[in-house]
Each structure stands twice: as C-alpha cells, then as structure tokens.
Amino acid sequence: MLVVEGGHPLDGAVTCSGSKNALLPIAAAALLTEEKVTVRRVPDLADVRLILNILEGLGCIVDWDHGSASVEIQARELPSGEAAWEDVRRMRGSVYVLGPLLARTGSAKVSLPGGCVIGQRPIDIHLRGLEGLGAKVEIDHGHVVASVPGGRLQGAHLYVGGSSGSSVGGTGNIMMAACLAEGVSILEGAACEPEIVDLGKLLISMGAKIEGLGSPRIVITGVEALGGCEHEVIPDRIEAGTYVIAGAMTGGRVKVEGCDPGHLAVMLARLHEAGVPLELGPGFIETQPYDPRDPAEGLRATDVTTLPYPGFPTDLQAQWMALMTQARGLSVITEKIYPDRYMHMPELLRLGAELRRQNAGTAIVQGGARLSGAPVTASDLRASAALVLAGLVAEDETEIHRVYHIDRGYERIEERLQGLGAVIRRESDPWQV
C-alpha cells in the first residue's frame, strides 16, 4: 500500500515516462513483421510486462533493456496464434494483438476481455472492422476466433466509431490490420488520440502507407510486407497531467519535463479557467506557487466533460475530481466515455470530500472540503491516482490499498512524488487480496 502524509508543499521537477497507451499497440505492431522492431522510452510498468509476456507466448523474441528503457521485439515465427484468457483478462490492451496476428498469419485466437471496473468495454468495433476487411470472426467458448478465408485481408471503406464516438483501440487494431491488406482502406470516424498518431508513425517507419493520422479519416494503402524499425514512444500525457494536477492541488511549483503540452491543451485551458498559475515551454509545464484557498485568487470550481481527443481525457477525470474537492464553488463533471467511471467517489467521500452523482454520467463536486486521511481502496488505475492526489492535501495519513492498480500505469510514483517533496512511502499491504 501507499501511505501519504498530507499537507507538504510540492516543489521540484519530474520527468515524464513513455506513454503506456501508445506502447501497448506499438509492441503489438511488431507482430506485423519478421524483422526486429526496437522501441525506446519504454515505461517500466506492469501492463508493459504483460503485453511483452503475451508477445513471448506467441513466439516473439523480446529483449527489454531496463537501463536504456528500450525493447527489441522480433516476431520471426509465430507458431502459436493464441492469446489466452489468463493474460487478456488482466489487461484489455492485450486485444491489440488480434489485428496484427490476423493480418500477418491469417488466423488468430484471442480471449474476449470482458467488462472491467470502469464499465462495459465491448470490442464490437474491433471485430466489425476486421470483418469489414474480409475476416471471418466467431465467438467460441469466450474466445474470438478469426481467420482470413482468402488468405489476405482486403481493403475496405469502414466506419470505425461507435455510440460513444471514436474508439482508440478499435482504430488501432483495424489500422494495423489494414496495413497488410490488399488495396486501399478508408477508416471513417477514426480516433485522433496522440497514441494512435504515434502508432501510425511507427507503422509508417515499418513501411506502411498511411495518410490522415490525427484526423477522423485515415487512408491506408496496404503493402505486402512490413519491415523492422526503431521508434521512440511519445511522453505519457496522462502521467504528465496527473503531476500537473498534483502541483495545482498543493499550490506548489511542479515542473513536468519531457512532456508535450500540446497533448494536454484542453486540461491546461481548464486549469487556466480554474485560476491555476502555469508556465509552459517546449517540452515542459510548470505550476506556479499560489494559495489554492485564497478567496480571491485561489482555485475556482470549473466544469469538465470527458470526450474523445482533443476533448478532456477520461483518464484525467478522477484526478480532476480530486482537484475540484479543493476549489471554491460547485463543479459539474460529465463523463461521456465511461458513464460509470466513478468508482473513486465513495473513496473520496471517506476522505471528507463533498460529492454526489446527479444522473448517468454526471457528478457534482462541492469544493472547499477539508480532507482528512483515512484508509481507502483503489479500484482502477486512474482512481488510484486521484486518491494519491487527495492524500497530498488531506490532514494526517491516507493509506491507499490495492496499489497494484497504480503500478499498471505510473512508473515508481512514490519515488517521483518524494522527489517533489511529498511525504509518501510504500508498505506491504496487510489487506492485500
């Protein structure tokens, strides 16, 4: 568990890691070629270990050099076209192996991931897209069993969004598969997230022909084979955003280095609206010291609505809620991607936050609460981050249990926060289940 002692002002610099959500599809894309793919700026995270284990299970040779944060992946032969439930159930991102496996080998068997704590997370968009490229897809005993009757996928004009708008994973999976399809594929309603742009750049370095990255219309001209390449993953915008919010919450000076402020434009605009003083420059964001509780100059309640990129990211919604517990006034948070992604609310209530659900997808935060430390339980990755943030301003100690969630997406969070002056330690968890 993590134990945070609240009330210590933060001051210092923290360097951003590589993006987990860019790395996961990028690692899977190595399945598309028999040549070696080298990836740099690889974050040392539980989810990264998991995708690399899955790739090894499929027959890849994986060499992860932790010292230089780089991984070499070579999928010379792929004798096993199967990703088992045991792995997929632990991380939904494992489903990224489906498109590349199918395109490269003509068949794939990947366990269906099922729901998770942030809500129902179907993969119908992925499956419909692959069917649109000519694959035959069946669900058999909890597995997706896919094959390519003609031997090679065929380019097609597809809509790759769903009822909540674009899908990051669906776009990535279909884009990877279309790179080896015969002919031109047009993906309409594609995700514009920087992680998808980064995946596309890797694919282009491997020899793929892709246009329109970062727009909702991606055009891919299939090629017969892809080759190896070297690629550096983009910085993790969600990790960066979390540390910026830590600075804003505590009123400290926190400089987040090695990030791309352009990827966080909407969050930065909302922070400006909320009265948080910031300095930005190439590759950095720095919160400036201020008193969040100052009645005139302090933190103001500011509404957010989560939306696909470039909208406010759902992966920063829980952290924003923690911030708003300290603001002056009432704020409304609307979750448009995962309407049930509010598992952090009961835990924030235990710390003394004043919050309530309004209706599906909406939460109201009454700011200005004096938080006091208590034991709380993390339910998912971003919810855990919100609890750590709340702990930074709560009186006395906050114990955050089940922190394995946080280790899925934040590299050595306690060391980084200690470097900023936070009083936080990791202890063995007597309640660990």
The site for ligand EPU (CB under 6 A) is made up of: 21, 24, 92-93, 121-126, 162, 164, 167-170, 314-315, 337-338, 381-382, 409
Q: How far is the CB of 299 from ligand EPU (least distance, A)?
A: 25
Q: Which is nearer to ligand EPU, 385 or 393 (CB)?
A: 385
> Is 259 one of the annotated active-site residues of the chain?
no
* Bridge partner list, 70: 65
Q: Which residue has the tokens 């289940």?
A: 433
Asked if 198 and 236 touch (Cβ cutoff 8 Å), the reply is no
CB-based contacts of 105, cutoff 8 Å, min separation 6: 78, 81
Q: Between 260 and 315, whose beta carbon lies closer to ligand EPU?
A: 315
Q: Pick the closer one to ligand EPU by CB: 166 or 250.
A: 166
CB of 167 to ligand EPU, least distance (A): 3
Token pair 């897809």 is at which residue?
137
Query: In whole angstroms, how close is the CB of 165 to ligand EPU at the nearest point?
Result: 7
Task: Check: CB of residue 420 under 8 Å from CB of residue 254.
Answer: yes
- 3-state percent helix, strand, coil for the chain, nearest multiple of 5: 35, 30, 40
Looking at beta carbons, which residue is closest to ligand EPU? Answer: 169
User: Between residues 96 and 284, which has the closer beta carbon with respect to ligand EPU?
Assistant: 96
- List the structure tokens of 337: 């991607």
Q: Are 18 and 69 contacting, i.e. CB atoms less than 8 angstroms apart? A: yes
Minimum Å gap between C-beta 390 and ligand EPU is 18
What's the min distance (Å) between Cβ of 45 and ligand EPU? 10
Pairing of strands 354-359, 362-366: antiparallel
DSSP string covering 169-230? HHHHHHHHHHHTSBSEEEEET----HHHHHHHHHHHHTT-EEE-TTSSEEEEE--S----EE
Residue 118 amino acid letter: I
Tell me whether residue 10 or residue 193 sits nearer to ligand EPU (CB atom): 193
The token pair at 24 is 């996961």
DSSP characters over 354-372: EEEEEETTEEEEE-----B
Q: What order of strands is seen across the sheet that includes strand 184-188?
A: 157-159, 184-188, 217-221, 209-211
Q: Which amino acid is at 320?
A: W
Please, what is the minimum distance in Å from the beta carbon of residue 358 to ligand EPU? 19
- Active-site pick, 116, 179, 192, 259: 116
Backbone angles phi, psi at 221, to 5 degrees: -100, 115
The smaller minimum CB distance to ligand EPU, of residues 43 and 373, is found at 43
Residue partners of 191: CB distance under 8 A and separation at least 6: 166, 167, 168, 170, 171, 172, 308, 309
- To the nearest whole angstrom, how small is the minimum distance from the Cβ of residue 387 to ligand EPU? 14
Q: Which residues are catalytic?
A: 116
